[in-house]
Structure formats: structure tokens, C-alpha cells
Structure 1
Amino acid sequence: MEEAILIFNNFKSLLYSIAYRICHSREEAEDILQEVQLKWLEQPIDSIDNPKAFLSKLVVNRSINYLNSARVQRVDYYGPWIPEPEIEYVEEPIIGKEKITYALLVVMESLNPQERVVFLLKDIFDYSHQEISQLLDISPENSRKLLSRSKKTIKEANISVDRSSNSENQRFIDLFNASIEKGDLTPLLSYLTTEAKMSIDGGQKRRAPLRTLVKSTRIFTFLKGVMPHDFFGDERFVTEIYQQPCLVIKEKNQLKSILFLGLNLEKNKVQHIFMINNPDKLKNIS
């Protein structure tokens, strides 16, 4: 038993990170880890040649099951669904955190479960296609195709998803905040792409457009209309969550919204504005 616990603890950080990155839920990742540990302790470990592969497969399978059930639940979600932002503070260090930005997290939502898992395992956790094929019971060639398909989908979103855009992202966040402070959103039009989008996740807990706004002029008209009604609160500051600058909006000293920007691939304009207003998704931000 002690040997089994020691082996599990050696891989605990990796396993937690995989579950957390696939599910994007701290609570779910912890539940999965607990289930996997119990399953592991039931095994005759002498018969397991590769504990890392065995444990990883258990985590991946449970994470995929969660993704499939979560997708069904989101069909009835009120308005645009945006991933819940979280401050990554856990006892175990999160492996691969330096490779994930909030923009990438959002774009990964458009991948199906297998594409998402292959992308994360290969590009974030450095598993080989041979290892992935064994975890998912697919061929290495199929793993390569899934990775290629996921990268194509991510690229087609026309959003810069890596940390190399952070300095430009910071500049646009500052410009956005300055426009709000001055009460003049006119400069906003100049740094949105023509086909820019804005998704506001209110989750029927706070008022928000039922659909993603498309085109810079429509976004500008909407923001100009809601700005006089304390849409941007009475206090704002720029911080960093998920390795990416964001604007935190407060009202009467209470967290009201968090706003992220997704830049285009050229990193010279804003392609997508993501705004989380749903209080249920802000509960883990202090």
C-alpha cells in the first residue's frame, strides 16, 4: 500500500494538471484525482509495467466523460458560454501553466473532446503520439490527424493564443480602460477588426445580449448604449489571469465583471472581446 501511494504521489501533479486542463474545473479535477487514486490502490501494482500510462489513461477517460456531459448541459445555457476564469492557486503546481492563456482556453472550447485531449497531451504536456494512441485506444496516425485538425480549428478562430501577444494585449486593455475612464469609446473602433466579436456571459444572472455581437460597429453601438448605465462599474484595474492581461470591473467594491481581449493573429487589432458577468463564474476570483 505504501509503495502504491508513493507511486501515485510521484504523478499527482501531472495527473491533476491533465484533469484540470481538460475539464477546466478545479472541483472536477479534484474529484477525478480522488476516483483515480482509489482505483489505483485497488490494483496489483506489480502487474502494471507503466504506472504513468495507466494513471494517465484513467484520468483522461474520466475527463472525457465529464466533457461529454458538460457539452450536453451547455446546450440549454442562456446566452454565450465562456470558460470560468480562476486564479490558479493550488497546493500542487499546475504543470504546463505557462503554455495556456485565457484566449487559448476559449478557443479550445470549439474542439471536440478527442481533439481537445490530443492537443493538450501533445502540445501542453509533451506526450508522444505513441503514448497518446495508447491512452485513447487510437492509432498514432489518428492522433496526428486529430492534432492537425485541432490546430487548424484554433488557427481559423483568428485569435492569437500564446503569451507572445501579451505586451500588445496589455496595450489594448489599457486603451480600452482609458476610453472608459474618459467616457469616450470612439477610439475603440480604430482597434477592433471589422468582423470583431463580443461575447458576454451573463448566464441569466445578469443582463447580457443573448447572442455574440458581430462587427465592430455593432459592438461600438452596444457599448455606447450601456456605458451610461454603469455597465463598466465604478472601479477598474488591470491584472493577469491565465498568463494574460485582463480588466477587472467592480461596483460598490464587489466584483462585477472580468474582460479579456483576443487579438488577431497579426496582433495589431482586437478580434474578440470576452466578458464574464455571470456571478457564478466569478466566485473563485478574489
Structure 2
Amino acid sequence: MSDHAVNEATEAFVGYRNLLFTVAYEMLGSAADAEDVLQETWLRWVEVDLGQVQDRRAYLVRITTRQSLNRLRTMTRRKEAYVGPWLPEPLLTSPDVARDVELAESVSMALMLVLETLSPTERAVFVLREVFDVGYDEIAAAVDKSPAAVRQIAHRARRHVDARRPRTVVSASRTRAALESFQRALATGDIQGLLDVLAPEVVLMTDGGGVKQAARRPVIGADKVARYIVGGSAGATLTGEPTVVNGSPGLVLRVDGETDGVIAIRFEDERIVGLYYVRNPAKLTRVGSETPLTLR
């Protein structure tokens, strides 16, 4: 490949890199695996004759989708052997992502967990069609199915996700106040303060990956969740730094000044209904900086 062709391929790849990462991450729920997929995509992209490519964005998305599907099938076996609940790798995202309602919902912990219940092909079709608005013909080429089959898969996946996806949208100002109350209660170990901000049916999911202590099953109910949180930090100084996690409010939690995990928070009616606490060190490599995401 000539230097000019390599430069042209590099320019195209870099221009769509954030989009391709977002596609891979939404399919995989793992930033580390998404990065591996991008590397594999690049190796295949530089072998392509660009003169024969009419739509570079579509071609790159197609390669990324195929590599993600290969990786997703491998990950399914890894997850079966995972110790305790598996949560998506949390990403610190910019306030711009939070303001983009469509993007923020698509990468939210709550929706990402719903996507985990789809088959690999269903997930790929749903992500490409519902999130990135890719045409059925393009999706068919990416997943090696007929357009008619893709339409059926898309309908089935959409119905499955719609039955499970969270729908309530809370204003940023109301969310901020509830987050501040939760943060203060965490720092002081105030069980009543936690009960005041937790919804009665709140669910806490923790992911320690077998390396850090975590509940093997979801903790359900305000009282149980509050006592689990306070009991887990007994004798230590627990602080939470407000941030944006996967487009939603969250905290970087530190115990005695050391990063302990990242917690994403889902609100409804000014109360917390979902807590997703990732402690697995292997999933905290991106805590130090924001990850750029885009749908375009």
C-alpha cells in the first residue's frame, strides 16, 4: 500500500474512530474489548482498496460490527465463568454526552444491561438500527443476513428491549439535588439520609470480578441497600466525587483516599432506583479521563 493510500486510510479511520468505538462498546459493554475491535478493524481497513469504497463510514461500521460479533461470542463464554454479577465497564463521559438524550440513554448502565439479554446478532441489529439508524441493507451486509431477516430480528429485539427499558426522565437540577444528598449520606454513614433518597424498591448491583468484595446477587430494598453501603465502609473514610458515568450521574468512590470503584445512578421522581457499583480493578482503567462517544 502506498504512503498516500495509508495516509488516506488513516485520515478516514481517525475521523470515524469515536463513532466506531461507540458502536463496539455498545455491542460489547467493555471498553478494553472495544479497543481490541478497533485495532482489528484498522488492520482490515488498511488492506481495503479505497477506490472501490463508496461510503467509508458504512464500510468501517460494517468491519467493526463483524469484529464485535466475533468478540461478543467469545465474551459470552467468559461471562458464564465470571464471579458474581457482570456489569458493563463504566466510562466517564463529558456533560455533552449527558445532554444528548439519545446518546446518554443508549450507553446508560440500565439499557446496557437490557442489551445483555439479547443474542449477539439481536444486539448488533438493535444497536445499529435503533441507536445508529443504519439502514436494513447495510445491517444485512454487516451481520450476514438477508434484509428481510434483519427486519424480523430488529422487530423482535425492539419489542424485547422496549418491555424492559427504563423510561422516566428526571431534570438535571432535581437529579443534582438528590445526588448531593446521596453523596453527603455516603460520606457520613448516615443510614437515614440514604433512606431519604433511595426509592423503596431500589436495586444495587455490584461487580467485583472475584477480586474485590461484591454481593453475589442484587441487593433489593432501601433498608438492605443502605445497610450494605454503610456496612461495607465501616471503619474507613468513604468519599464520592460527582461525575458523569455513561451519560448519567455517578460517583467515583474512594476509601481512605484510594479509588475503590465507580457507581452509576439511575433516578426516578427524585429518588434513586438503581445503583450500579463497579469495583473490579480491570474495569476501572478509564476512571482518570473522559471517553469521547458519538452517534455520528
Instruction: Name the TM-score, length of structure 1 as normaliser.
Output: 0.80
Counterpart of 2:252, as a letter, is V
Q: In the TM superposition, what whole-angstrom CA distance separates every residue of 1:113-165 from its partner, at most 9, and x where no partner exists?
A: 22222222123322122322232233444434433443444444453487x65
Determine if the alignment matches structure 1 residue 279 to structure 2 residue 285. Answer: no
1:182: how far off?
Answer: 4.1
Give the whole-Å Cα distance in 1 for the aligned partners of 2:254 and 2:70.
36
User: Residue 51 and residue 281 in structure 1: after superposition, are their counterparts in 2 closer, same or farther (change >3 A)?
Assistant: closer
Determine if the alignment matches structure 1 residue 202 to structure 2 residue 208. Answer: yes
Corresponding residue of 2:77: 72
Give the whole-Å Cα distance in 2 for the aligned partners of 1:140 and 1:17.
24
1:84 is paired with a residue whose SS is coil
Q: Choose 190-199 or 248-257, whichever is displaced more.
A: 190-199
Q: In the TM superposition, what whole-angstrom CA distance separates every residue of 1:171-200 from its partner, at most 9, and x where no partner exists?
A: 332221122244322243354444331111
Count how many residue pairs are aligned between Structure 1 and Structure 2: 276
Q: In the TM superposition, what whole-angstrom CA distance separates every residue of 1:66-112 from its partner, at most 9, and x where no partner exists?
A: 111111101121111111113459xxxxx985553343334333332
Counterpart of 1:249, as a letter, is L
Partner of residue 133 from structure 1, selected from 113, 137, 140: 140
Q: Choose 35-44 or 127-136, whichever is displaced more.
A: 35-44
1:227: how far off?
Answer: 4.7
Whether the 8 Å CA contact 2:30–2:88 is kept in 1: the answer is no
User: Residue 42 and residue 126 in structure 1: after superposition, are their counterparts in 2 closer, same or farther (change >3 A)?
Assistant: same
Whether the 8 Å CA contact 2:12–2:56 is kept in 1: the answer is no
Corresponding residue of 1:28: 33
CA RMSD of aligned residues (A): 3.1
Give the whole-Å Cα distance in 2 for the aligned partners of 1:280 and 1:45.
37
Corresponding residue of 2:228: 222
What does residue range 251-270 of structure 1 map to in structure 2 within 5 Å? 251-264=255-268, 267-270=269-272
What does residue range 108-147 of structure 1 map to in structure 2 within 5 Å? 108-147=115-154
2:229 is paired with a residue whose SS is helix
Unaligned segments of structure 1, at least 5 residues:
90-94
1:203 is paired with a residue whose SS is coil
Give the whole-Å Cα distance in 2 for the aligned partners of 1:165 and 1:142.
39
Q: Choose 114-123 or 219-228, whichever is displaced more.
A: 219-228
2:274 is paired with a residue whose SS is strand
Give the whole-Å Cα distance in 1 for the aligned partners of 2:254 and 2:276.
16
What does residue range 144-223 of structure 1 map to in structure 2 within 5 Å? 144-157=151-164, 159-160=166-167, 166-223=172-229
1:255: how far off?
Answer: 0.6
Q: In the TM superposition, what whole-angstrom CA distance separates every residue of 1:223-246 from its partner, at most 9, and x where no partner exists?
A: 35435343xx43322122322211
2:83 is paired with a residue whose SS is coil
Give the whole-Å Cα distance in 1 for the aligned partners of 2:30 and 2:64.
14
User: Residue 29 and residue 236 in structure 1: after superposition, are their counterparts in 2 closer, same or farther (change >3 A)?
Assistant: closer
Corresponding residue of 1:92: none
Q: In the TM superposition, what whole-angstrom CA distance separates every residue of 1:203-228 from its partner, at most 9, and x where no partner exists?
A: 22222221111233432343354353
Q: Percent identity?
A: 26
Give the whole-Å Cα distance in 1 for the aligned partners of 2:175 and 2:93.
20
Counterpart of 1:269, as a letter, is R
Q: In the TM superposition, what whole-angstrom CA distance separates every residue of 1:29-71 from its partner, at most 9, and x where no partner exists?
A: 3333333333333344545555444433222111011111111
What does residue range 87-98 of structure 1 map to in structure 2 within 5 Å? 87=92
Counterpart of 2:204, as a letter, is M
Q: Choose 57-66 or 235-244, whichever is displaced more.
A: 235-244
Determine if the alignment matches structure 1 residue 249 to structure 2 residue 238. Answer: no
Give the whole-Å Cα distance in 2 for the aligned partners of 1:177 and 1:67.
35
Whether the 8 Å CA contact 1:103–1:160 is kept in 2: the answer is no
User: Residue 161 and residue 205 in structure 1: after superposition, are their counterparts in 2 closer, same or farther (change >3 A)?
Assistant: farther
Instruction: Name the TM-score, length of structure 2 as normaliser.
Output: 0.77
Q: Choose 255-264 or 139-148, whichever is displaced more.
A: 139-148
